[in-house]
Amino acid sequence: MKRSSRRRRRTAEQARDEILEAAERLLLEDGASALKIARIASAAHMTHPGVLHHFGSVDQLIEALHLRISRRLRDDLLSLLAGGDGGGQELFLQAATRLADPAKGRLLAWVLASGGAPFPPAEEQGLTSIAAALSEGEHPDQVARYKVLLVVLAMLAESMCGPELRGRLGLENEDPQRFRGWLLGLLARP
């Protein structure tokens, strides 16, 4: 049975988003070697020239994918903090759990390995906004910034190699939430 070859109408923004979504899905499922224009085009139900029309080059597509991944991580944390469900400790554990997601770790590891920045442009003030939300002030102090730094570094390492690290430390049967609770207790100290 033949598939319909009827073109689907979409805006340029919708097409770009579908292309990036397909590229991200391929990256998670098959790794960096799957990021070929032909595979991305097929996964997005487009043609090779159609993908290049929306991004101009492979490099521009990769750059847009880097930015999408970093912005989605930041926006996910900011939306969680804006919702403010559960108070300080519960909010911290939810944020740490989101940061420690292995899928996010794989995506960020790829961004770093391919030379991209793991965070959106500095002028967007994403990390500063997160620190401000956690410190409940418009201008976070140095301690709040250090706490954000510690949590982000710990949870990104957790997302990329947590099970391996726990195994090598004899903690393979330990619930990751237990470490997050311990870290929260450490951060709560004056």
For the stretch 101-120, pLDDT in tens is 888 888 888 888 888 877 88
The number of distinct structural domains making up the chain is 2
Name the pLDDT band for 171 (thresholds 50, 70, 90): very high
52/107 same-domain check: no
Share of the chain above pLDDT 70, in %: 89
Whether the predicted pLDDT of 55 surpasses 80: yes
Q: Which amino acid is at 151?
A: V
In-domain check, residue 171 = yes
Query: Using a CB cutoff of 8 Å and minimum separation of 24, what contacts does 85-90 make?
Result: 89/184, 89/188
In-domain check, residue 147 = yes
94/23 same-domain check: no
49/78 same-domain check: no
51/86 same-domain check: no
Per-residue pLDDT, 151: 83
Whether the predicted pLDDT of 2 surpasses 50: no
51/124 same-domain check: no
Distances (CA, A) of 24 to 1, 11, 78: 29, 20, 21
119/177 same-domain check: yes
Per-residue pLDDT, 45: 93
> What's the domain range around 31?
10-56
51/112 same-domain check: no
80/166 same-domain check: yes
- Write the pLDDT tens digit of every residue in 39-53: 999 999 999 999 999
76/14 same-domain check: no
pTM: 0.75
Per-residue pLDDT, 54: 95
Whether the predicted pLDDT of 82 surpasses 90: no
Sign of CA dihedral 22, 117, 138, 99: positive
Q: Are the C-beta atoms of residues 29 and 107 closer than 8 Å to each other? A: no
The beta strands (E) that lie in 58-130 are given as none
